[in-house]
Amino acid sequence: MHLRDKTKEELLNELQELQKANHSLQESYNRHVSESKKLEISLRLSEEKFRLVFENTSEAILFTQPDGAIQFANQEACRIFGFSNDEFQTIGRNGVVNLNDPRLPKALEERKRTGKFKGELTFVRKDGTIFPGELTSNIYVDSQGVQRTSIIVRDETDRNLADEELRKSEARYMLLSNQFEAILDHIPGLIFYKDTKNNFIRVNKYLAQLHGKSKEELEGKNLSDLYPKEDADNYYQDDLAVINSGLARMNIAEPWETETGVKWVSTSKIPFVNTSGETIGVIGMSIDITDRIQAEKLLKNSEEKFRKMGDSALDAVILINDQGCIEYWNPAAETIFGYASEEVLNKNAHDLITPEQYITAYKKGWKIFSETGEGTVIGKVVELSGKRKSGEVFPIELALSALEINNSHWALGYVRDITKRKLAEQKIELKNEELEKTNAVKDKFFSIIAHDLKSPFNSIVGYCDLLVESVKDEEYDGIGKFAEIISQSSHRAINLLMNLMEWAQSQTGRMEFNPEHFEIKSLINETELLFEDIAVQKNIIISKVLPTITSVYADKAMIGTILRNLIANAIKFTESGGKIMISAEEKLNGLTVSVADTGVGIPKNRIETLFSIDESYSTQGTNNEKGTGLGLILCKEFIEKHGGRIWIESNRDSSSEKKGTTFHFTIPKNLKR
């Protein structure tokens, strides 16, 4: 129909319809524009939120390119790893992961297989330090179709602290979990939750078993239904103290009266707080320590028995810990060492022995003890030198036994003061030495009587018989020779008897020591005259070098015996034509007398035996003169009675060349009786 063919009314209706359509179109356009604006605004807001989250999150966020290079990193990543954004772009993702982490290959395999990975790994900071972290890695395709990887790392260095806080937080609300009851029943402890009215709300099966009831029989019951009112009130007051203070009470040992008897438990309680921060009860956990309490009682009884035994012991009983310090010190130890218990407890046990014996003690006892810790350390008693508080050193016997205490090796030491025993042993030793010496003296005495003394008398008797026979037969040619031999044998017998008598008196203590003032020169001259005839017969020249006046204070008879024996020996061992020199010299501390000869000399290896009764050395003289060796022993004893000494110088060597002998002896100036 043509426009002009339409009525006005029809045209108005169409115009209205067009206006409506235009209005609807305008509204649709406006709505489209509005939605586009909103989408644009939302996109900007989303990007802003992402930027804010990206830059302000507490986790390190990295985005990588397909080749592994890091495209960009947030501020937290820069802070955690220590790299700048530019440095991140040069090191690549392998520069932040600890490539030596054994978990890394499995993580890479999982991400390759699933396109993502979440788990724990270790990472490397710029300074080289390694730290633990939680990694979330995802492979994604961006709007241009490029595959990239997002890496989120949470630094878990302080995870233990965070876990502890989380544990505390979870503990407050775990009771609200449906699974909490099952967890409670698998915890090997006594767990309960009570409200502020002292009613059990939840208990686990171990607590119910301790009371000999089921969980259902305990839950909802007031504590006063299980215990006498007084005991229930005490427990309740303890709970209220935790509830009102908000402070936990830890490891409180307390007895619980149950149907099976008294049980000891160690209880810890904390306030139970709801999500609003309101304390609505108390959570408690108890551990049955009945066995431990009983063991402690047994240990205490054992310790008491040990202490009583140790306190009554006569020997020192010392308990030494694994650090070598004293833990127990009985009264006998106080008496022996002089230290009170408080002075030595926790002090090193080595202080009880002398420093020079530390190594000996370590080798013999402590080292073996510390390495083995088994049985008796040394298997026998060790003798050491102890040290009293006063500093006195004394002999001790030490025995160590190993003890295992708290998986450590301790030692129980037994110490005995053996001072008296050592003194007794010394006396016995001296007595044994005296006995040996007495036996040697006895043997020597019998030897002299049996042989040396008999020999000259045999000569006298034999030649007297010959002399008698010659007179009877009136054969007088050999009488002079017989008389000379009889005379020599008689003199030798007399000298021997005199030495023997004097020596016997000295051994039996019957010889008196009578010092007096006299001139040594006169005594030497008198003694020399006794041997003048014998010296002439052997063609020996005796000369003297003596001071004009030399007074000494000594026992004249003993000094005379010494001179007589030394001169007789010099003549005996000097060949015909030899010389003997007798001299005396005043020195600072007294007088030194010397008798030197040009005789056969004495081998060096025999000099030490000349003054020993059990190893006396005697040889025949140059004219086969015999002797016993007793004279020199007598000289030594007489010189020592004066506080002097006697010694020998002899030049005879291994070739047996005869170069003479010199005897020296001293008479101290200040003789003390």
Rounded Cα distance, 459 and 626, in Å = 12
Instruction: Give the distance, in angstroms, between the CA of residue 117 and the centroid of all CA atoms in the same chain.
Output: 55
Angle between helices 479-508 and 419-447 (to 10 degrees): 170
DSSP assignments along 35-103, one per residue: HHHHHHHHHHHHHHHHHHHHHH-SSEEEEE-TTS-EEEE-HHHHHHH---HHHHHHH-GGGTB-TT-TT
User: What pairing do the DSSP bridges indicate for beta strands 551-555 and 515-519?
Assistant: antiparallel
CB 73 within 8 A of CB 57: no
The domain over range 512-668 is classified in CATH as 3.30.565.10: yes
CATH fold match for the domains 57-152 and 512-668? no
445 residue type, one letter: F
Within the chain, which residues score under 50 in pLDDT?
A: 1-4, 6, 33, 172-176, 366-379, 654
Residue in the block written with tokens 């005796």: 542
Q: 458, exposed or middle or buried, with CB in 10 Å at 0-12, 13-18, 19+?
A: exposed
Among candidate residues 2, 135, 126, the one with its CA nearest the CA of residue 59:
135
Rounded Cα distance, 346 and 367, in Å = 20
57-152: CATH number? 3.30.450.20
| Tokens standing for residue 639 | 């010189």
CB 531 within 8 A of CB 571: yes
Rounded Cα distance, 386 and 383, in Å = 9
Domain 162-288: give its CATH architecture: 2-Layer Sandwich (3.30)
Tens digit of each residue's pLDDT (9 = 90 or more) over 127-165 = 989 989 888 888 878 767 778 888 888 888 876 566 666
Could you tell me where the DSSP H helices lie in 267-344?
A: 290-312, 331-337, 341-344
3-class secondary-structure state, position 481: helix
**Residue 146: partners with Cβ closer than 8 Å, 6 or more residues away:** 65, 66
Burial 472-509 (b: 16+ CB within 10 A, else e): eeeeeeeeeebeebbebbeebbebbeebbebbeebbee
3-class secondary-structure state, position 447: helix
Model's pTM, two decimal places? Answer: 0.35
Among candidate residues 572, 568, 567, 580, the one with its CA nearest the CA of residue 621:
572
Among candidate residues 585, 594, 612, the one with its CA nearest the CA of residue 650:
594
Rounded Cα distance, 448 and 440, in Å = 12
Handedness of CA 133, 134, 137, 143 (dihedral sign): negative
| Tokens standing for residue 234 | 């005490």
Rounded Cα distance, 111 and 97, in Å = 15
Handedness of CA 191, 196, 198, 199 (dihedral sign): negative
Tens digit of each residue's pLDDT (9 = 90 or more) over 288-321 = 788 777 777 776 776 777 677 777 778 888 888 8
Rounded Cα distance, 288 and 305, in Å = 27
CB 344 within 8 A of CB 329: yes
Tens digit of each residue's pLDDT (9 = 90 or more) over 169-216 = 555 444 445 555 666 667 667 788 888 888 888 888 877 887 778 888
Note the residue count of the chain. 673
Query: How many Cβ atoms are within 10 Å of 660's Cβ, its own excluded?
Result: 22
Q: Measured at the alpha carbon of residue 506, what is the angle toward residues 641 and 607, in degrees to the nearest 5? A: 65
3-class secondary-structure state, position 659: coil
Residue in the block written with tokens 């003289």: 621
**What one-character DSSP code corresponds to residue 256?**
E
511 residue type, one letter: M
CB 367 within 8 A of CB 381: no
CB 145 within 8 A of CB 101: no
pLDDT at 664: 94
Fold of 297-417: Beta-Lactamase (3.30.450)
CB 253 within 8 A of CB 262: no
Q: How many helices (H) and strands (E) does the chain have?
A: 21, 22
Task: Assign 3-class secondary structure to 332-378.
Answer: HHHHHHCCCHHHHCCCEHHHHECHHHHHHHHHHHHHHHHHHCCCECC
pLDDT at 331: 87
671 residue type, one letter: L
3-class secondary-structure state, position 150: strand
End-to-end CA distance of the chain: 179
567 residue type, one letter: I
Instruction: Kindly report the backbone phi and psi dihedral angles of residue 594, in degrees, each rounded to the nearest multiple of 5, phi listed first.
Output: -130, 140
pLDDT at 3: 43
Rounded Cα distance, 580 and 517, in Å = 27
pLDDT at 455: 58
Give me the residue spans of the domains in the chain. Answer: 3-51, 57-152, 162-288, 297-417, 512-668
**Residue 105: partners with Cβ closer than 8 Å, 6 or more residues away:** none
Rounded Cα distance, 431 and 446, in Å = 22
Task: Assign 3-class secondary structure to 168-193.
Answer: HHHHHHHHHCCCHHHHHCCCCCEEEE
Among candidate residues 308, 313, 307, 312, the one with its CA nearest the CA of residue 327:
307
Could you tell me where the DSSP H helices lie in 573-641?
A: 630-641
Rounded Cα distance, 283 and 280, in Å = 10
Could you tell me where the DSSP H helices lie in 593-653?
A: 630-641
